[in-house]
Amino acid sequence: MTNNKRPITSEDLTKIEIFSDPQFTPDGKAYTYVSTIINDKNEYESNVYYQKLTQEPPKQWTYGHHKTSNLAFSPNGKKAVFQSDRTGVSQLWLLHTDGGEAKQITTFKNGAFNPAWSKDGRYIIFSATLDADDDIHNQKELSKEERQKETEEKRKEPLFVNRLKYKANGTGFLDNKHTQIIRYDMVHETFEQLTTADADHSYQDISPDGKYLIFAANLSPNADYELNHNLYLLDSDTKEVKKLTNDEGSYYNASFSPSGDKIAFFGHEYQYAGATLTEIFILDVRTGQRTCLTKDFDVQIGDAVASDTRLGSSKTGPVWSKDETSLFFIATDFGSTGLYEVTLDFKINVLYKNDNHVYGFSYDAGSGSFILGISTPTNPCNNYLLTQDFSLTQLTHSNDAFLKEVEVIKPETLAIPAEDGLEIQGWLLKPFGFKEGEKYPFVLEIHGGPHAMYGQTFFHEMQLLAAKGYAVLYINPRGSHGYGQEFVDAVRSDYGGGDYSDLMTAVDYALENYSFIDESRLGVTGGSYGGFMTNWIVGHTNRFKAAVTQRSISNWLSFYGVSDIGYFFTKWELGHHLLEDPAKLWDFSPIKYAKKVKTPLLILHGELDYRCPIEQGEQLFVALKHLRKEVEFVRFPGADHELSRSGDPNMRIARLDEICKWFEKYI
């Protein structure tokens, strides 16, 4: 470690630039990406950048203290459409790529988003949130004052609830509006509504001849009781809808092959409930025959890496090769994500994989090259060119100034033998300013999900704790993605069992192999499932000097009814729901073991968290306080379940400061 660099701080969150959505220009000579920062107003700001592959410096294409994203090029590359909230709500804007000001093309009351082009460049297809009786030809964008007035008036009205799915984390209480698919005619500058069903429609792709659209939805009359998500084919002329998939699974990211003869998509049939690995399918448009290309690939398709420095969406596949013989995609495997290829005769090829996190990619059919968005444990993000001969060239140098200023600790990868013979992967960060022969306090971090994965990516929170002088251990206990179907399924119906054993075994391993860790000064923290496990740990062992539980679950009995996913997630993960076996749910509830807690516990919770509602934190706090335990409760107004990842920057910094203060006080 160098001594001339300073340690990372919580406020450094505002100095990190985050990239997303890399995509080639149609001619393959350049690419664009979205850059997100936290500006001097402590607000998120996203803009589009353009860079030629000659490695000329990137050029900023959009400006302003707004969120701009989802840029899509016209087929000839002369125009681009993007969404931006520069007028207060997300609308679509048209930009000539040779210069000039962007032109606003939608003024929908509830906004417009996710634009795409027809293959001939005549139409822009996009999504909009509409009431059943909305007239798309008479949409008026509300002013800031009008939106504020409408919000205030809504607060004075009672909320009538008559369906099971009536709220969602990050959205709040749901109304009767639905996402519909709209087509904008570039020639006549007119709008046409393509879908009207009483359901949310997710646009996927348009056929090469422009006649058919694919969308994902649940159009079943029993949709309120189902989690299925089917793919449908829509005839854009007749509006006839044809279901492409069965009613047994969830399917998404569909795309037509270049010829239009086949459709590729991700999905699964819930064989292992929420722990089911995603597969890649192709469907023959003419015969309707469906084939799974990855049935023997025991790896999670897509990006399951947990991080607090990822903002904005990026393509993870599947993407067709030019000759339609294979598909490209990102997969999550053993702590890393990489770029893969699957051929139509079921062969899997690794195109790029290293000890890092590939979070998005773009493919150029002309050159056979890829743009990769990559994060490493010591660098938040950069864009790279991967050529057909597998040569990798770095195109951007994001965060260079920041990384020259601060000390970033490179984690050591661990292979930890579990009690039953499984191997558990983890990482250890040494504390800032580490000196041989000295003893250091220690923090165990536990990820959420539980079906997610810590991995080879930049994690500001881990670096912050190391900067504060802690050795930091983070592992992937059973239940995590990245180690096959059996491993990710192993936690179900066994919360607090094998997963708890894996975590304690990992702590023991660290203490046995790293003499600089002070075994009398141990801390533990985690969020969501990691918060549940933190609660479980302090109720089952007193080895930790301090604990911080975040957006946690403490009582599965009430979680069933208060969470936006409780009614199905409880059954999925524990094997029972409230009405089947309440005694079993109580046994799984950390609050049952409140009398055994001796570890000082800090409870952090967002007040608008509908995934793990704040009453979970309230119950645990009241129980422990009533028992005169050492406990504090910090509530974050306006924050939902995504607080640590994409919440209000000020709240994110405050959260990090509270974690550090608690550990400093008790460890």
Provide the pLDDT for residue 322.
97
Structure tokens at 513: 């192999």
Q: What is the DSSP letter of 138?
A: G
pLDDT digits (tens, 9 = 90+) for 492-540: 999 999 999 999 999 999 999 999 999 999 999 999 999 999 999 999 9
Residue ranges of domains in the chain: 410-554+589-666
Mean pLDDT calculated for residue range 163-177: 94
255, 258, 266, 248: which is closest to 214 by C-alpha? 255
**Residue 384 pLDDT > 50:** yes
Which of 10, 558, 641, 644 is flagged as catalytic? 641
Domain 410-554+589-666 is classified in which CATH homologous superfamily?
Alpha/Beta hydrolase fold, catalytic domain (3.40.50.1820)
List the beta bridge partners of residue 601: 547, 631
Give the Cβ contact number of residue 549 at 10 Å: 32
For 191, residues 6+ apart whose C-beta sits below 8 A from its C-beta are: 136, 137, 182, 183, 184, 185
CA distances from 261 to 3, 179, 264, 289, 324 (A): 60, 28, 10, 12, 10
Provide the pLDDT for residue 2.
47
452, 475, 457: which is closest to 304 by C-alpha? 452
For 585, residues 6+ apart whose C-beta sits below 8 A from its C-beta are: 556, 557, 560, 570, 574, 576, 577, 578
Give the span between the Cα atoms of 496 and 504, in whole angstroms.
11
Which of 46, 255, 528, 558 is flagged as catalytic? 528
Give the span between the Cα atoms of 566 and 561, in whole angstroms.
6
Provide the pLDDT for residue 1.
46
Provide the pLDDT for residue 99.
86
Provide the pLDDT for residue 56.
87
Residue 228 in contact with residue 254, Cβ under 8 Å?
no
Share of the chain above pLDDT 90, in %: 97
Is 398 among the residues known to form the active site?
A: no
pLDDT digits (tens, 9 = 90+) for 90-124: 999 999 999 889 999 999 999 999 999 999 999 99
Is 229 among the residues known to form the active site?
A: no
pLDDT digits (tens, 9 = 90+) for 205-225: 999 999 999 999 999 999 999
CA distances from 326 to 297, 322, 347 (A): 15, 9, 9
**Residue 290 pLDDT > 90:** yes
